[in-house]
Structure 1
Amino acid sequence: MSVQLRARSAQLRARSAPLRARTIVLTLCSALLATAATALPTRADAAAPSAAAWEVRGPHGSPTAVVALDPADGHATLAVRRDGATVLEPSPVGLVTEQADFSRGLTYAGRSDRTVTEHYTSPTGKSRMRVVHMTEARFRFRTAAGARLDLVTRVAPDGVAYRYVLPGADGNVLRETSAFTLPAGSNALLGGYRADNELRFSRYDSAATAPTGAYMMQALFQTPGGYALIAESDVDGSYAGAQLTHTADSPTYGLSLWNDEPVQTSGALITPWRALVTGDLATVTESTFVDDLAPASRVRDTSWIKPGPALWTWLAGGKEAGQSLAAQEKYVDYATERGWPYEVVDAGWYFKTDAWDVVDPDWQTDSWMPELVRYAAAKGVGIHVWLHYSLLTDPAEREKWLSTLESWGVKGVKIDFMDSESQERMRWYDEVLESTARHHLMVNFHGSTIPKGIQRTWPQVMTMEGVGGEEKRTNTPEQLASLPFTRNVIGSMDFTPGAFHRPYRPNVASDAGELGLTVLYESGIQNLSGTPESYDARPEARRYLEQLPARWEETRLLAGDPGRSAVLARRAADGRWFIGGTFTGPAHTVDVPVRLGAGRWLVETVTDGPSGLVRETHAVRGGDILAVPVTAEGGFAAIACRAHVGRTTCEN
């Protein structure tokens, strides 16, 4: 079935005009905004102290946050509106410590406002250049005993967030009373909570009637006021990770901390941000709000941080490949031929050959890894290696491992099996991130927490698992179409696509759909998990994968319905757009808006044909609709480039 062009450009241009206008405004703002946060003069709130509600308005086009204090029992709430419609009903805010209850009995003590304007770059993620423009309001409350709680609220065009500041020493945090109450008529896309964040997402027609249980802090809701994704940002060792809790037949989702354990404090405390990424589906999908809330980079020199595709050998060869220098050299050769900058050596390289889970005590002298690193470096390929996190818990042992890997010339580490979001484990992340930055080692966390702004503060974090990726056997087509709107919104995701040889993948009948996942899912190190033989058997897939860029400059949602379909376009530094799409349901033809810019474009599509992958080139105009055939539970991949006289391909 060939791809056909449907001339509906006028209709699409009218539909996409607001999005183009938003892009122009953001571009102009980028030239004007300073690189540091700028505070407006603090002012006293104009309302009388007895006022029950206060609005926080952000830049033009932003939602509005409403902070309120119930005069009956003194509990505070936060609500969110957009364009007159409700995104979040008044929802409880507050926490309880050993010495004070900040969930009720509060009195209002004042407010101050400022604007937050920042400009930063990111080596990974949906876009390289980031512009931050938010309004911040700090509300001061006191208990009857005089203890003080500050509620810091931020509003941006793509979200609302709040955090708590305890200026005094009020003891350990016992619990938060933070919650999110959804308006009637909201539906939900939720993933059950587990320590490794690898459970699947499910759609619920009613957010209120979702089953009782714990859910991940990456829950997507469609509300009367637009989409809303609950997340958190700036979680470090001063706190613990959180999860959502829900009781069936309730519109409210509460928040609980790891195992309900107290958060240990020794003085003043600033909690993580509780974030609501909100807007239309494109705004939420393209948002960098979770990163924007996080602290600025703690790595001064980032010249050594270089993202790019990698040949991941675990699914290709398993344990045997990890223990064989000869096998790894062949993988390096294949990565060289493809132009991929990295090869990842997984478990097995430092184990005893007779017991793969026991570390060789003489690994520093017995290992063939230095030889592999030298061999790969001569061919322009960098080596990343797998480590069990327990090797890095003791400071002396951590220094031994990381300094040795740096001396060998290893470029990055894949650290596995943390499986906790406790305060103790978050402190471990702090220590490991400082150490890996000092030793110039890029990081991929597996069996891990989810990003939560970590990639802005520690830009050497190339990617994190926190997802049931390609090696799992439990994925579904619905899961593939859920991840672009949930997990991958908040940061890089190591799904490890490209395993054409795996019979367990949910799109097993669609090689084009599998190929499209390499673009649909963003990862600073895109670990390609197929075998060389599977790539060679699919020359069109191999040709496409050889063109994958090191990073993305911009991301756009072209079409999507969470849990059912997703089409994303990502722009490379050379101006080409790479497109990936995935769909549930029977075979059909999908309409893809060419929302890439005005003018003439060539679009090379890769779809499933009766005898394998089919590549076709089409001349279109920006704003046209492209009709693309997809197989049942399948998808497609594409590359778009500017059309010039005599140009017949998008390959550089």
Structure 2
Amino acid sequence: MGRSTGRGSRLFPGVCGLALTCIAGITPIGAAQAKTVQVTSPDGKVQALLADDGGHLSYRVAIDGRPILDPSPLRMRVDGIELGDGASIGAVRRDRTDSRYRFFGAKAAAIDRSTIAHVSLTTHGTTFEADVRVANDGVGVRLRLPAKAGRRIEADHSGWTLAAADPRVWVTPRDPGYEAIYEKKTLGELAGEPLGLPLTAKVDRYWVTISEAATAGYGDMSITPDASGRLTGDLYADPKGWRTDRAVVQPWRVTIVARDLTGLVNTTLIQNLNPPPSPALAAAPWIRPGRSSWQWLAIGAPLEADQHQWVDWTRQLGYEYYLVDEGWAAWKRPWDTLADTVRYARSQGVGIWIWVDSKEMVEPAQRRATLRRYAAMGIVGVKVDFPGHPDHVWTQWYEDFARDAAADRLMVDYHGAVKPTGTERTWPNILTREAVRGHEWQITRYKRVLPADHDTIIPFTRYIVGPGDYTPTVFEPEELQGNSWSHELAQAIIFTSPYLSFGGHPRTYLANPAVDLLKAVPAVYDETIVLPGSDPGTLAGFARRRGRQWFVAVINGSSARSLTIDLRFLGKGDWSLLSFADDAARTDTYDRTERMVRSNGSIKVPLRAQGGFAGWLRPAR
């Protein structure tokens, strides 16, 4: 179908508001007698329209009356039948959600408020349903089929058609390990190239992030733009499909919409589209976000003889956790030393996380026995690494692992993992996952360097859909590779992770002029604001509040510039500002200053290429 041309007009004139179905002979859909279902967000600003125009099932999205998605396919091929073709809309049931739950990330709580339509459909004698769910921050759509013995899922070519001519997009190539670089492109440059999700775009004046949610038991999806700009999905991890006797629930095809970057980074739509946890798990006191020391990036495999020393460094920094990473199993007395480390750490108020290879966690009985052994020792969290190719079997494994870990009160960090799809709402013991090209990539012993602008893009792409284990902040001069100390310090504030595993050596933190800020940086926040001047691919600036303290951070890209930070987000009164700005002469030092400021003031920040800024604001006594 053609793209909409009336950019400033209402998207759905002539459609029957919240009516269940209506004839849309004069709607922009364009085909006489097409049945449509319109769903509007609780605030009345976001709309989705599901249509069976000419038998082709499609959906559209608008915000403030302006189109975000032109007709976009909603499809699935099952048992040789393309469910998006020859489709006919039938009865509609209406529903809504309205709840609030604790959230670990950019803010203290998530609000799940949406309007839903459950739409009956038929095609070629097959009966199925579509769900259309519209919230104030975007839209999710999906298909569902009842259980049937031996049903074969063959393909899924659902997609997104952005309502803009060759829009700017921030994208990553398809990579099953989700550790590729993000770049700024135009959609026209990418025709025919398989891309990973999430993707962020600018449509009109709106920020749009597309991805998927609730993927358990369903293969991971990539997208490929065609010459017209339509982004078509591909179940690349399951090229031959799979059989199932269970009900088939397509993952939500998600379109997040925001009027500004602050709205974008505060979305919880991906999480909201997942089922809530059990009441006991929702309030579990053993699920505790925190910061962690970690030796892999600093020294490689852990040494058996210095585990108490690492616990001591962790305690001196005031961090909650210490991660014993890959290599502990090669110690002379691995289990005895591990048990001794756990006992000593507990005596020092430090919790121990342990690394494990996913191959030890595949067979259910072995997985449960190993997790039970960890828990019995007093270990509090598991970093599970190297999951398999994200086909339908492995996407189910993520949920099964989380369930088994929760049964033994273990928190989880997935590494080498598929992108987040909101599973952490159902299983809040999932504190983080990698699925990001982070500081493990930029390390001299691997002779790898991240592009300068990558760090300025991922806060508005990868981090929109969930927390990421970037392992930030190193200070060794040889490891900076162009970054300044202030850039590295800002990473710890911008790259949110409820399990915040620091990449640098604790000795360099304790000796650093910013040690007081390093000790104070939290793992989660109560409020987040994106600073004016932020632009993916150029600069990322955030102000995050925890309690009555504000943490301000800026990461700059490849060109030097200056930034003025308006302090109007502060409350009344005087505030003590401790700031760490770039030094013009060297990357491995700061311009450290302390002064009093007020909300009617500002901070002038000079930024070198690959530079940054970090500030800590507290009410004056």
Give the alignment partner of residue 63 of structure 1, picking from 46, 49, 64: 46
Q: For the Cα contact (< 8 Å) 1:558–1:595, is it kept in 2?
A: no
Give a deviation string over 1:16-64, Cα, whole Å, max 9, x none. Answer: xxxxxxxxxxxxxxxxxxxxxxxxxxx9725259443332211225321
Q: For the Cα contact (< 8 Å) 2:471–2:502, is it kept in 1?
A: yes
Q: For the Cα contact (< 8 Å) 1:81–1:225, is it kept in 2?
A: no
Give a deviation string over 1:169-221, Cα, whole Å, max 9, x none. Answer: 382221112111122141111101111100001111x2133252221111011
Q: Return the structure number with greater relative CO, CA threshold 8 A, min gap 6.
A: 1
Sort the Cα spacing of 1:133 and 1:299 in 2 relative to 1 into closer, same or farther, 3 A: closer
SS for the counterpart of 2:286 is coil
Residue 97 of structure 2 corresponds to which residue in structure 1?
116
Residue 131 of structure 2 corresponds to which residue in structure 1?
152
Give the alignment partner of residue 519 of structure 2, picking from 526, 535, 546: 546
In structure 1, give the amino acid aligned to 2:187: A
SS for the counterpart of 1:368 is helix
SS for the counterpart of 1:401 is helix
SS for the counterpart of 1:455 is helix
SS for the counterpart of 1:350 is helix
How far is 1:263 from its partner? 3.8
Q: Structure 1 residue 563 and structure 2 residue 537: aligned? A: yes
Q: Structure 1 residue 101 and structure 2 residue 82: aligned? A: yes
Q: For the Cα contact (< 8 Å) 2:399–2:423, is it kept in 1?
A: no
Q: For the Cα contact (< 8 Å) 1:492–1:524, is it kept in 2?
A: yes
Sort the Cα spacing of 1:506 and 1:178 in 2 relative to 1 into closer, same or farther, 3 A: farther
Q: Structure 1 residue 404 and structure 2 residue 373: aligned? A: yes
Gaps in structure 1 of 5+ consecutive residues: 1-42, 354-361, 648-652
In structure 2, give the amino acid aligned to 1:496: T
1:243-642 residue pairs with structure 2 within 5 A? 243-247=222-226, 249-257=227-235, 258-280=237-259, 281-298=261-278, 300-301=280-281, 302-319=284-301, 322-324=302-304, 326-351=305-330, 364=335, 367-472=336-441, 473-501=448-476, 503-505=478-480, 507-508=482-483, 510-540=484-514, 542-559=515-532, 560-572=534-546, 574-600=547-573, 601-609=575-583, 610=585, 612-622=589-599, 624-642=601-619
1:191-206 residue pairs with structure 2 within 5 A? 191-204=172-185, 206=186
Sort the Cα spacing of 1:568 and 1:337 in 2 relative to 1 into closer, same or farther, 3 A: same
Give a deviation string over 1:86-107, Cα, whole Å, max 9, x none. Answer: 2111111121101532121112
CA–CA distance in structure 2, aligned partners of residues 426 and 267 of structure 1: 15
Q: Give the RMSD, CA atoms, in angstroms.
A: 2.1
Q: Structure 1 residue 85 and structure 2 residue 85: aligned? A: no
Gaps in structure 2 of 5+ consecutive residues: 1-17, 25-32, 442-447
Give a deviation string over 1:213-243, Cα, whole Å, max 9, x none. Answer: 2211110111115111011111112x12211
How far is 1:282 from its partner? 2.0
Number of aligned positions between the proteins: 579
CA–CA distance in structure 1, aligned partners of residues 481 and 262 of structure 2: 25
Q: Normalising by structure 2, report the TM-score.
A: 0.89
In structure 2, give the amino acid aligned to 1:111: V
CA–CA distance in structure 1, aligned partners of residues 275 and 481 of structure 2: 38
Q: Structure 1 residue 54 and structure 2 residue 31: aligned? A: no
Say which is worse superposed, 277-286 or 599-608, in terms of deviation: 599-608
How far is 1:451 from its partner? 1.7
CA–CA distance in structure 1, aligned partners of residues 111 and 550 of structure 2: 21
Q: For the Cα contact (< 8 Å) 2:34–2:53, is it kept in 1?
A: no
CA–CA distance in structure 1, aligned partners of residues 421 and 337 of structure 2: 36
CA–CA distance in structure 2, aligned partners of residues 466 and 506 of structure 1: 22
Sort the Cα spacing of 1:267 and 1:329 in 2 relative to 1 into closer, same or farther, 3 A: closer
Sort the Cα spacing of 1:565 and 1:245 in 2 relative to 1 into closer, same or farther, 3 A: same
SS for the counterpart of 2:215 is coil
Q: For the Cα contact (< 8 Å) 1:343–1:382, is it kept in 2?
A: yes
Residue 29 of structure 2 corresponds to which residue in structure 1?
none
How far is 1:617 from its partner? 3.1
How far is 1:379 from its partner? 0.8
Q: For the Cα contact (< 8 Å) 2:353–2:382, is it kept in 1?
A: yes
Sort the Cα spacing of 1:180 and 1:48 in 2 relative to 1 into closer, same or farther, 3 A: closer
Say which is worse superposed, 478-487 or 46-55, in terms of deviation: 46-55
Q: For the Cα contact (< 8 Å) 2:20–2:38, is it kept in 1?
A: no
Give a deviation string over 1:491-526, Cα, whole Å, max 9, x none. Answer: 110000112226354543x10110010000100111
Q: For the Cα contact (< 8 Å) 1:507–1:514, is it kept in 2?
A: no
In structure 2, give the amino acid aligned to 1:548: V
Residue 224 of structure 1 corresponds to which residue in structure 2?
204
Give a deviation string over 1:438-466, Cα, whole Å, max 9, x none. Answer: 11111111011122101111111111000
CA–CA distance in structure 2, aligned partners of residues 299 and 477 of structure 1: 44
Give a deviation string over 1:355-411, Cα, whole Å, max 9, x none. Answer: xxxxxxx854xx310001111111111111110111111223212321111111111
Give a deviation string over 1:75-120, Cα, whole Å, max 9, x none. Answer: 0111111223221111111211015321211122122222211111
